[in-house]
């Protein structure tokens, strides 16, 4: 049997991306700060067989609600090796290039263009730097989402794999609702353009919608009863929600996706909609429209939405590049194709590859350093067991995990009451210049110690908590962490 050169190159690209991502990820032993909530949940499953539902290490977030399916999967794999925390997300971020290739091959009818789509998707700044150090369910969900889009073109042949993939996607991640909206957009586009529609696509839409709503209402019913529609935004306080679901700028999109991907992807979408009306591409365009709608409605995080857009637009960019090359070859100077492609390649390197590497390095900085971890562990040894620590929201999960001490809150706000007020109180402690104001917050929130880590110093732009350390807040240093003890009332 003769090997296909395009499949060999695809395998090389997938392996290369996986190897590079793992090299970057394992350059630090730590995970991202928020990941330690998942780590504690996984360790609780391994120890007790149950997810962490009541958490003694968080004052305000003592009750937890999570989708347990992915955590059970991760727990089973972590039993093999703790490296799975890093290996699993990076493996699936590389594997999602496989459905990208086959979708690109169907859309462009060119093996070379399909491989271009793979390279654009794998090296997109936002894609390359995402989930390097975060053991979340999104990489697996994205791979399943793209696999469904790849198989939907041949529904007769792939009906059972599509159903199985849809069920797995539903149980793993709310990304299933992007699939629901994508199917709806595909149905509308095909009907508007006058194409025949396989009734099984309609059935898949209704099946996915009903299954997704049923499953997530069961999982999050308590949060829905408590907070209603705010659950869509994870009940995040306004300041944190603005960071996760906030405004999108054109410059930010260009930087995250890469200029080549954005421009040629947009051209590819335009060419399909207004020139060729090529049916195969409508599944990708439908998914692009669905993602844009969800970003505008702020029902998915900006980072996740841009990752999905980058991957989908990479496929359309490969199509757009192919059409552009064919246009140039029809001119009186067909030889211009080679210098133009060379210029585009150089521009791609500077506008996508270099930013991808820079973003990856910045992403790894969202993890505690070895010195941070050693200092947090020392807290668990030197401080009494009954202390309540105040730390910035971003760092609290890591503080809980490494010190074993209780913190006021962490990044899980799903069942937290008055989260906006809580975040403002925490920020006011770290920005206050007067010990009396800090004492008031200590009485209100119940903390006994305040942690000023290196990351907190950068976040709040101050090397010490107060201009001059007050009598009521004596300070000591453990490792690279300044610890202020509340001694004039407040606290526990």
Taking the domains of the chain in order of start, what are their residue ranges?
A: 5-30+83-364, 370-485
DSSP 54: B
Position 337 scores a pLDDT of: 79
Strand 475-478: give its sheet, edge to edge. Answer: 406-407, 388-390, 449-452, 481-485, 475-478
CA dist 182 and 289 (Å) reads 7
CB contact set of 416 (below 8 Å; sequence gap of 6+):
60, 61, 235, 409, 422
Residues 6+ apart with CB under 8 A from 405: 57, 379, 380, 383, 385, 387, 388, 389, 399
How high is the pLDDT of residue 155?
A: 84
In Å, how far from its chain's centre is CA 230? 19
Query: Which tokens in the block code for residue 246?
Result: 């906030």
Give residue 49's region: left, alpha or beta (phi > 0; psi -120 to 50): left
pLDDT at 446 (0 to 100): 84
Question: Residue 156: what pLDDT?
Answer: 82
Q: What pLDDT, on a 0 to 100 scale, did the predictor assign at position 470?
A: 63
Instruction: Give the pLDDT of residue 210.
Output: 95
CB 376 within 8 A of CB 405: no
Q: What is the pLDDT of residue 98?
A: 95
* Signed CA dihedral, 392, 397, 400, 402: sign only: negative
User: What would the pLDDT profile of 306-360 be if each residue is shown by its tens digit?
Assistant: 999 999 999 999 999 999 888 888 777 777 878 888 888 888 888 888 888 888 8
- Longest distance between any two alpha carbons in the chain, whole Å: 85
Residues of the chain with pLDDT under 70: 1-2, 61-62, 467-470, 489-492
- Ordered alpha helix ranges (H), 272-369: 282-296, 302-329, 337-348, 354-364
Per the CB < 8 A criterion, the answer to whether 426 and 408 are in contact is yes
415 near 234, Cβ under 8 Å? no
């Amino acid at each position: 049997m003769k090997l296909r050169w395009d499949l060999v190159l695809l395998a090389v690209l997938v392996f290369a991306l996986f190897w590079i991502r793992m090299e970057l990820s394992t350059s630090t032993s730590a995970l991202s700060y928020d990941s330690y909530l998942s780590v504690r949940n996984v360790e609780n499953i391994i120890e007790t067989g149950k997810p962490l539902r009541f958490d003694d290490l968080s004052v305000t977030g003592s009750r937890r609600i999570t989708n347990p399916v992915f955590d059970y999967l991760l727990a089973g794999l972590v039993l093999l090796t703790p490296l799975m925390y890093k290996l699993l997300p990076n493996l699936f971020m590389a594997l999602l290039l496989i459905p990208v290739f086959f979708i690109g091959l169907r859309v462009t009818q060119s093996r070379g263009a399909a491989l271009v789509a793979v390279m654009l998707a794998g090296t997109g700044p936002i894609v390359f730097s995402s989930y390097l150090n975060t053991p979340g369910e999104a990489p697996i969900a994205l791979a399943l989402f793209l696999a469904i889009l790849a198989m939907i073109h041949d529904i007769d042949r792939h009906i059972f794999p599509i159903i199985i993939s849809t069920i797995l996607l539903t149980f793993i991640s709310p990304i299933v609702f992007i699939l629901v909206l994508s199917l709806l957009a595909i149905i509308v586009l095909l009907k508007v353009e006058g194409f025949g529609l396989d009734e099984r696509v309609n059935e898949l839409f209704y099946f996915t919608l009903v299954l997704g709503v049923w499953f997530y209402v069961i999982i999050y019913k308590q949060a829905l009863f408590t907070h209603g529609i705010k659950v869509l935004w994870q009940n995040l306080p306004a300041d944190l929600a603005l960071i996760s679901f906030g405004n999108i700028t054109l410059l930010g999109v260009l930087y995250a996706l890469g200029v080549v991907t954005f421009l040629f992807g947009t051209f590819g979408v335009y060419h399909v909609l207004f020139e060729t009306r090529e049916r195969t591409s409508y599944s990708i365009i439908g998914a692009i429209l669905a993602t844009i709608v969800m970003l505008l409605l702020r029902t998915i995080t900006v980072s996740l939405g841009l990752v999905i857009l980058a991957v989908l637009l990479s496929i359309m960019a490969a199509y757009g590049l192919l059409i552009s090359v064919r246009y140039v070859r029809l001119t009186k100077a067909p030889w211009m194709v080679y210098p133009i492609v060379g210029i585009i390649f150089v521009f791609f390197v500077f506008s996508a590859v270099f930013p991808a590497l820079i973003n990856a390095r910045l992403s790894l900085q969202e993890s505690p350093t070895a010195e941070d971890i050693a200092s947090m562990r020392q807290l668990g040894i030197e401080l009494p067991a009954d202390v309540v620590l105040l730390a910035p929201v971003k760092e609290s999960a890591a503080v809980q995990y490494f010190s074993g001490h209780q913190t006021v809150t962490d990044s899980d706000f799903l069942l937290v009451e008055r989260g906006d007020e809580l975040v403002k109180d925490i920020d006011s402690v770290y920005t206050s210049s007067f010990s009396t104001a800090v004492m008031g917050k200590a009485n209100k929130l119940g903390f006994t110690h305040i942690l000023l880590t290196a990351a907190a110093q950068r976040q709040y732009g101050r090397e010490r908590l107060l201009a001059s350390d007050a009598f009521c807040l004596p300070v000591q240093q453990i490792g690279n962490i300044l610890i202020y003890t509340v001694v004039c009332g407040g606290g526990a």
